[in-house]
Amino acid sequence: MRCFLEIARAESVSVAADRLNITQPAVSRSLRELEDILGAQLFDRAGRGLRLNEAGRMFQSHAAASMTELMRGYDRLVKEGGATIRLSVGALPTASTDLLPRAALRFREEAPNVRLHILTGPNWLLFNQLRDGTLDLVVGRMPEGETSSGVTFQQLYIEDVVLVCRPDHPIIAASNPEVEIRRFPLILPPKGAVIFSTVDRYLSSIGLPEMRGDIETVALPAGRKIVQSSNMLWFISRGVVAEEVRLGTLITVDLASPLLSGPVGISVSRFAPLKVERNVLADCLRASTDELVALQMRPGSQRHC
């Protein structure tokens, strides 16, 4: 099954052999044995490569889930103390305040022998580390442009960018807050942040294409303190400030623009080898997403994931 899953990812027997550190004939033989057992051909030839056919795509999801369960069973048999495997995760701001902490606690129960290494940093750095193999996955907004090169993305949910201010800010009483934005100093995401293009498109759509921020940050501690202490307005992913909005220490300005919404999920290098621990963490992230959505749907709740 590992050979099959690696061939499916690489669409090449030779690349799969390199990643698994075994010979090409061994990979081909394993695939033939699997197809004999199943009584079905799983791939179609496409030039020098292989492409999953309908039977292969159907079997792929079951095979991946089976490998995950096998690793969980193995972990329960291991009696060594402490972590024996390391999984490195890059956390973009929108996922690092709530989603990833929840998933990390769930992952610790599911895979107690894996040490989870969480790194934060600028968008460009995390995706460069993902491509060079330093990180196993990145959690956050879907990458755009050159950042998405060599990366696959699995969506977890849709999240909007919000405009936040202090609770007694004068813009709250405005009947048309979009018109009032130009009257106040802004905190904007820096160029290179995942949400930079989203905010830039929105400002252009309301006639402020040249609007620049007096301050640029997506960091919660700095942005929160500045907004609470001034008339500044901050464009930031909702997930970053979800707790502050729930507690009422920051208020969202009602803009209701579809241009401010975008997908949040899991990014993995296209060339990363199969790693069961990564699949376990992905399952934990999906379960934590469901948990956050359920909290959001509770009557009276203001939480957003």
User: Across 80-84, 109-113, 133-137, which has the greatest mean pLDDT?
Assistant: 133-137
Query: Are 143 and 152 in contact, with CB atoms under 8 Å apart?
Result: no
pLDDT at residue 303, rounded to an integer: 40
Q: Measure the CA–CA gap between 99 and 91, rounded to whole angstroms.
A: 10
pLDDT over 90 percentage in the chain: 50
According to DSSP H, which parts of 156-275 are helical? 177-180, 196-205, 220-228, 238-247
Residues 187, 235 contacting (CB under 8 angstroms): yes
Is the separation of the CB atoms in 87 and 115 below 8 Å? yes
Q: Which 8-state DSSP code applies to residue 21?
A: T
CA distance 59 to 35: 11
Band of residue 40 on the pLDDT scale cut at 50, 70, 90:
very high
Q: Answer whether residue 122 shows pLDDT above 90.
A: no
Identify the pLDDT of residue 305. 37
pLDDT at 63 over 90: no
- pLDDT confidence of residue 23: 84
Q: Is residue 201's pLDDT more than 60?
A: yes
Cα–Cα distance, 229 to 122 (Å, whole number): 26
Q: Which residues contact 112 (CB under 8 A, 6 or more apart)?
A: 75, 83
Query: What pLDDT is recorded for position 75?
Result: 65
pLDDT the model gives residue 297: 64
Q: What is the dihedral of CA 147, 191, 155, 86, to 10 degrees?
A: 70
Structure confidence at residue 275 as a pLDDT band (50, 70, 90): confident
Taking residues 84-111, what's their average pLDDT? Answer: 90
pLDDT for the residue 286:
94
Indicate if the pLDDT at residue 107 is higher than 80.
yes
pLDDT recorded at residue 148:
82
Asked whether the predicted pLDDT for residue 304 surpasses 70, the reply is no
Q: Check residue 89 and give its pLDDT.
A: 97
| Cα 144 from Cα 146, distance rounded (Å) | 7
- When pLDDT is averaged across residues 270-298 and rounded to a whole number, the result is 84
Integer angstrom CA distances of residue 50 from 33, 39, 270:
17, 18, 16
- Which has the higher per-residue pLDDT, 65 or 77? 65
The residue among 298 and 267 whose pLDDT is bigger is 267
The residue type at 124: W
Q: What is the chain's mean pLDDT, rounded? A: 87
Q: How confident is the model at residue 186, as a pLDDT?
A: 97
Whether the predicted pLDDT of 87 surpasses 90:
yes
Check residue 174 and give its pLDDT.
Answer: 92
Q: Of 100, 41, 106, give the one whose Cα is nearest residue 305.
A: 100
pLDDT, residue 99, reads: 93
| pLDDT for 292 beyond 90 | no
**For residues 261 and 161, what is the distance between their CA atoms, to the nearest angstrom?**
6
What pLDDT does residue 234 have? 98
pLDDT in tens, 13-39: 888 888 877 888 888 888 998 999 899
CA-to-CA separations, 295 to 79, 211, 236, 289, in angstroms, rounded: 36, 36, 21, 10
- Indicate yes or no: pTM above 0.85: no
